[in-house]
Amino acid sequence: MQIALIGYGEVGRILAEDLRAAAHEVSAHDLKLGNEAGNALREHAAAIGVKLAATHADAVRGAELVVSAVTASQAVAVAQACVPGLPKGAFFLDFNSASPGAKIRAAGLIDGTGARYVEGAVMTSVPPYRLGVPLLLGGPNAAALLPVLAGLGFAPKLASEQLGVASATKMCRSVMIKGLEAMVIESFTAARHYGVEDAVIASLHETFPGIDWEKQAAYFFQRVIEHGRRRSEEVREVAVTVREAGLQPWSAAGTAERQAGVADLADSGLFGPRGAPGFARSPDWRTEADRLLAASNKD
């Protein structure tokens, strides 16, 4: 099958590796190809046989399936950029963590070309599951795409024929999941400052005995340090989703700021050089909390 990936970040590269291992033809485009950060992407693509394209439209020409996996804020813009090259009848799977309203706008652009838009909601972190990550599908074309994706090795489930249902499910879940990440970082770092972290963790374990808080905290710190920028953009889309429901997104807005704040510190080198061995891989969350406290004290 001929498949185009729009976005060649962590998710795009994982999909590319698994699809190429099954001998599918894969093309890709990423905005980073135009700067120095694109060197690593070009090396990865060359190693596994992915054809890199200069533009979105070039990447999707001739594709039977397009997977859009970019930052949340770019979901509609990417759909628009793909329009000139989209073949009629091609499926366009929108993997992005965008609001229901954004998905509906993107669908209007894609379906207007004669291609078939399907919203996708990735329901957990991709790396542990890779191609088999749990995936909700939505929209009038979702039922037709489901067996195609299953044949490729995806783990799709039909959420609704109505656009927006799958993304609403994902975004409302993210209020909790991304919010929990931000709350753990804030709570545990502050507790570390006051020297009460062990008491706080003991209390949490008593209330939620099924969670290993030490292990969970280390994982949350790692994910936000490494992917806080992308997560903050997703949670801003979560806030849009909440606002579209008529509510003020106080929790989501705060979560986005915490995620973005950690991303800023990571970009500044507080946790070491990005991409270096051991970056965001400390087995003890206390190491990262101490760094955050040291940076706060400087301010």
Q: What is the pLDDT of residue 243?
A: 94
Q: What is the pLDDT of residue 299?
A: 61
Q: Which residues of the chain have pLDDT under 50?
A: none
Q: What is the pLDDT of residue 34?
A: 76
pTM of the shown model: 0.84
Nearest to 228 by CA among 254, 265, 194: 265
Return the axis-axis angle of helices 213-244 and 100-111, rounded to nearest 10°. Answer: 60
Select from 1.10.10.10, 1.10.540.10, 1.10.3720.10, 1.10.1040.10 the CATH code of 168-298. Answer: 1.10.1040.10
Q: What is the pLDDT of residue 257?
A: 97
Select from 3.90.226.10, 3.30.70.1450, 3.40.50.970, 3.40.50.720 the CATH code of 2-163. Answer: 3.40.50.720
Distance of alpha carbon 240 from the chain centroid: 16
Helix, strand, coil tally for the chain in percent (to 5) = 60, 15, 25
Amino acid identity of 276?
A: A
Nearest to 154 by CA among 167, 168, 137: 137
**All CATH 1.10.1040.10 domain ranges in the chain, comma separated:** 168-298
Contact assessment for residue 31 and residue 68, using Cβ atoms and an 8 Å cutoff = no
How would you label 158-193 residue by residue, b for 16+ Cβ within 10 Å and e otherwise? Answer: ebbeebbbbbbbbbeebbebbbebbebbeebbbbbe
Q: What phi, psi does 120 have (nearest 5°)?
A: -125, 140
Q: What is the pLDDT of residue 18?
A: 96
**All CATH 3.40.50.720 domain ranges in the chain, comma separated:** 2-163
